[in-house]
Each structure stands twice: as structure tokens, then as C-alpha cells.
Amino acid sequence: MASTDHELQSSVDDFRLSSFIDRLDVMKRQEQSSIYHISDCLSAQSTRKASLSSSANTNADIWCRSQMVQWCYAVVDFVHFNRETVLSAMQLLDRFVSTNTSKSINVIADRRQYQLAAMTALYLAIKIHEPQTLEIGMMVQLGKGAYASSDFYQMEFNMLSALKWHLHGPTATAYLEHLLPLLTLAYESRNDRGHLRNHARYYIELSTSDYDLVTVSPSKIAVAAIINSLRRLTVSKHAFSIIIKELKQYTGIDAAAKHILAIAQRMHKLQNIPKPYLAPRVKAFTQQPETCNRGAVKNGQIDSTEDVSKKSPPSQIRNVVSRRCSMDTSPTTFVANSA
């Protein structure tokens, strides 16, 4: 009987691992499709900004994007949503401005429209990935009235049309979560797996705000994040070499290649740049190997000391977002400070 139970469990495990491999194959095909292509649309605008006075430049640029990344993280942390939702939101935004349609060109040419597009991208990502949605009225409140409901509806339509309703692109975090179960033979400690996940997710979040990595595929970001995490955890050379082989087997990416190591090095250097919205992830390294606390926002800053491991009940979402509207990090300051 015990032997039968063992065989059944082994069969279930094999099926589970097989499903992860199948999903990775699907994500790789998506990633290679032109539908999910992201191009560099803001570097030229940043160069142009350097040659113009701030009052003469109204184009969206790299700085604008970094501000909206920070704002999105503050919002999802405050309402206790998943941080991967920000990755999805920025992917939607980056893909939209890469479509080279008349609407996306207008967004790049007007930072006020770019800000609206970023807020709408977060609104869309929340609708897709979170159990609770934010009403358009809440988005209007978050913008302190800078945009009307009709502005959000129109931008949502523009984005959906440009993206042709392809909204479920693979993220680096999705790759990470599908790769980790396949690496268990080389990395057997459950506690170590938790640390590896937390470190890798932290590196992925760092990459979200770095425009130099915006055109790098999610699979390469995930692999580079895993490499950095393994180094940080001082994994044995034998285990490291096994994982390198497994990563290549499941993703087709040589983790020892120079361009992957360059991405990993870039991520590592990003740690030295202050990013207050990532503070809760740093604290989680030393306190919770299996989960990551996401701190609440107080007075415009994230408070990593507050326990927010449980999501707010649906009835509290409106109150939480309404409180968030009065904070100094409202995106309306993004336009005012960069106009």
C-alpha cells in the first residue's frame, strides 16, 4: 500500500513538473512573438530634453517612466495587491508606446498623456490579475481630478486597440515562479528556496524601473535574477553548475553567457540606487524566507514595519485608496514637476 501511495505521489509530481515545462514553452513562444515586442521609445526623448529647457520640453522621457513605476508600486503596496501587477502594468505601457500607432505617438509626445496611460495600464493590470478591481472613479480620485472618467475610458480603449487585446504577456516573475520548481533537484532546502525566490523577486523589481533593461526579454531578466540570487546565497559550485545547466535546458538561455552576466551585473549595481518603494523587499530577506512583507504607505513613504501580510477585505479597498489620494506622491505632481 505504501509503495502504491509513493508511486501515485511520484506520478502527480511528474505531471506537475511537466505542466511547468509546458507553460514555459508557451511563454517563450509569446515572448518571441512580435505581439509582445517592446522597443526603445523614450531614450531619444531624454536626449532631446537635455538640449531643451524644462519649460520647452513636454515629451515623455525615461524620468517620467521611473516616476510612474514608483507611483504604481506605492499604490499596489498601499492596497496590498501583488507587486507583480506593477510588472504587468509597465509591460502593457511599454508595449503600447512601442506600437507606433498615432495614439501611442501622441502619448510619447505629451507627458500628461503618458501619465494617464501609465495610470490606465495599472488600472488594466489590476482588473486582469487582482481579485478586486479599482473603479474608474477611484482612479480619478488618485489623479486628484487631473483626468475625468472619460479620459480613462478613452485611454483604455486606445491601449486595448493598439495591443489588439493581447494583455497576458509573460513577466519575469512568471518565469521565475515556473522555473523554481524545476530547480529543486539542485536546490533541495525549502528554506533556501524561499530565500532564492525573495532575492530573485527583488532583483526583478529593481529591473522594472531601469529603462536600460526595458527591451530585455522577461526570460533573460528572470535568469539573471536567479544567477544574482544564487551568488548572494553563496551556493556551492556544484549546485551552481547544475542550476546553470537546468536553466539552459528549460529556457534555452546560457546563464554563463556574457550578455546574461552583464544583465546580472546591471541588476546588482541597481541595489546602490536608493529606491524607498523596494524597502519592504529588503527587510523580507532577513525576516521571512518564504514570503515578502509589503509595507504600507504613510505620509508618502512606505512603512516596512507595519504587518500587511493579509490583504484588506474588499469593503476596505475604497477607504484605503481614498486615503492614498491625499498623499504627496499623487501622479499630478509628476506633471507639475516636469512640465
Concatenated DSSP letters for 47-77?
HHHHTS-TTT--S--HHHHHHHHHHHHHHHH
Residue labelled with grid coordinates 507639475 = 336
Answer yes or no: same fold for 58-169+295-334 and 172-287.
yes
Residue 288: is its pLDDT beyond 50? no
- Once rounded to an integer, what is the mean pLDDT over residues 63-80? 91
Class in CATH terms, 58-169+295-334? mainly alpha
pLDDT band at 296 (very low <50, low <70, confident <90, very high): very low
From CA 304, how far away is CA 110, in angstroms rounded? Answer: 35
Q: Count Cβ atoms below 10 Å from residue 205 Cβ, excluding itself.
A: 24
- Does residue 5 have a pLDDT over 60? no
Least confident of 19-23, 85-89, 102-106, 217-221: 19-23
- The pLDDT of residue 277: 54
Residue ranges per domain, the chain?
58-169+295-334, 172-287
pLDDT at 338: 42
Distance CA 45, CA 57 (A): 9
- Side chain identity at residue 319, one-letter code: N
pTM over 0.95: no
The pLDDT of residue 240 is 86
The pLDDT mean for the chain works out to: 77
Buried-state track 17-29, b at ≥16 Cβ within 10 A, e below 16: eeebeeebeebbe
Q: Name residue, grid cell 490606465.
A: 120
CATH architecture of 172-287: Orthogonal Bundle (1.10)
pLDDT of residue 134: 85
Which band of pLDDT confidence, cut at 50, 70 and 90, is reported for residue 128? very high
Reported as a pLDDT band with limits 50, 70 and 90, residue 13 is low
Q: How many Cβ atoms from other residues are within 10 Å of residue 182's Cβ?
A: 18
